[in-house]
């Protein structure tokens, strides 16, 4: 067999669906965890600087942010290992296994393992859908804040109307109702929106939201590929045909 035929045989056994899903998962998790971690840090800084004067007003928020940052560390480690396992499972169930080790065999253990991956990946996809929806909340908050700042810039000639435009962090549950000042109004709010910290935090949350969406797409792709692999193992294994997804 020539070099070209050997290369084509190897490429024919690559689980392209699992490979694409792995790349999507790695990039999505890196974007979500990296940007989300930094965005939480910047959020605490914004609240401390502009919305709360007393440490006791935002100490609970600081603890929650720290807790979520630890959760982000765990998510990054878990998804890195799980994506590697799913990619290995995809390679194992390709026709490359048959071509390398001889006649293909579908064992009960292999079918049980594939079905377990289907269930786990499906559950993860459902749970990550909630994470995806949850990651939209800070984007919604900063979008409203940015829209209010834009309205203030338009109405700069009427100071009385400007002072009535406010963003209250207490309404979003970020601070207790007795926090002082708890809100920013008028030109103070407009100046906050022009700061580097605000712009960076807003863009970080958007990037984290996009990363959550990419990860969700990766999990759905994994669900399709693992389901296909299980179907091949279950119904076509006796004919010696390996999965290619």
- Read off the pLDDT band of 103 (50, 70, 90): very low
What average pLDDT does this structure show over 63-85? 92
Least confident range from 8-12, 40-44, 101-105, 158-162: namely 101-105
Give me the chain's average pLDDT, please. Answer: 83
Q: What is the pLDDT of residue 122?
A: 92
Kindly tell me if the per-residue pLDDT of 52 is higher than 60: yes
Kindly tell me if the per-residue pLDDT of 186 is higher than 90: no
HEC-encoded secondary structure of the chain: CCHHHHHHHHHHCCCHHHHHHHHHHHHHHHHHHHHHHHHHHHHHHHHHHHHECCHHHHHHHHHHHHHHHHHHHHHHHHHHHHHHHHHHHHHHCEHHHHHHHCCCCCCHHHHHHHHHHHHHHHHHHHHHHHHHHHHHHHHHHHHHHHHHHHHHHHCCCCHHHHCCCEEEHHHHCCCCCCCCECEEEHHHHHHHHCCHHHHHHHHHHHHHHHHHHHHHHHHHHHHHHHHHHHHHHHHHHHHCCCECC
Percent of the chain with pLDDT over 90: 44
Could you read off the pLDDT of 231-241 as tens digits, one per residue?
Answer: 766 665 555 44
Six-digit token string for 149: 């700042």
- Read off the pLDDT band of 8 (50, 70, 90): low
Q: 96 vs 163, which has greater pLDDT?
A: 163
Kindly tell me if the per-residue pLDDT of 90 is higher than 60: yes
- Read off the pLDDT band of 242 (50, 70, 90): very low
Could you read off the pLDDT of 109-132 as tens digits, one per residue?
Answer: 666 777 888 899 999 999 999 999
Six-digit token string for 34: 């990296």
Q: What is the pLDDT of residue 107?
A: 56
């Amino acid at each position: 067999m020539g070099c070209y035929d050997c290369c084509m045989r190897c490429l024919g056994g690559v689980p392209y669906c699992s490979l694409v899903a792995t790349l999507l998962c790695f990039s999505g998790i890196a974007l979500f965890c990296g940007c989300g971690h930094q965005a939480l840090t910047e959020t605490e800084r914004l609240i401390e600087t502009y919305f709360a004067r007393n440490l006791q007003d935002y100490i609970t928020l600081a603890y929650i942010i720290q807790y979520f940052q630890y959760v982000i560390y765990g998510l990054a480690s878990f998804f890195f290992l799980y994506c590697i396992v799913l990619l290995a499972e995809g390679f194992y169930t390709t026709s490359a296994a048959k071509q390398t080790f001889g006649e293909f065999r579908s064992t009960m253990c292999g079918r049980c393992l594939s079905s377990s991956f289907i269930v786990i990946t499906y559950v993860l996809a459902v749970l990550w859908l909630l994470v995806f929806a949850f990651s939209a909340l800070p984007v919604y908050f900063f979008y409203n804040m940015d829209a209010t700042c834009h309205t203030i810039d338009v109405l700069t000639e009427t100071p009385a109307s400007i002072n009535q435009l406010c963003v209250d962090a207490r309404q979003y549950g970020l601070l207790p109702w007795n926090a002082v000042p708890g809100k920013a109004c008028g030109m103070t709010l407009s100046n906050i929106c022009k700061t580097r910290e605000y712009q960076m935090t807003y863009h970080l949350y958007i990037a984290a939201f996009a990363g959550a969406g990419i990860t969700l797409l990766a999990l759905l792709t994994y669900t399709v590929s693992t389901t296909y692999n299980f179907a091949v193992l279950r119904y076509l294994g006796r004919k010696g045909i390996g999965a290619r997804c």
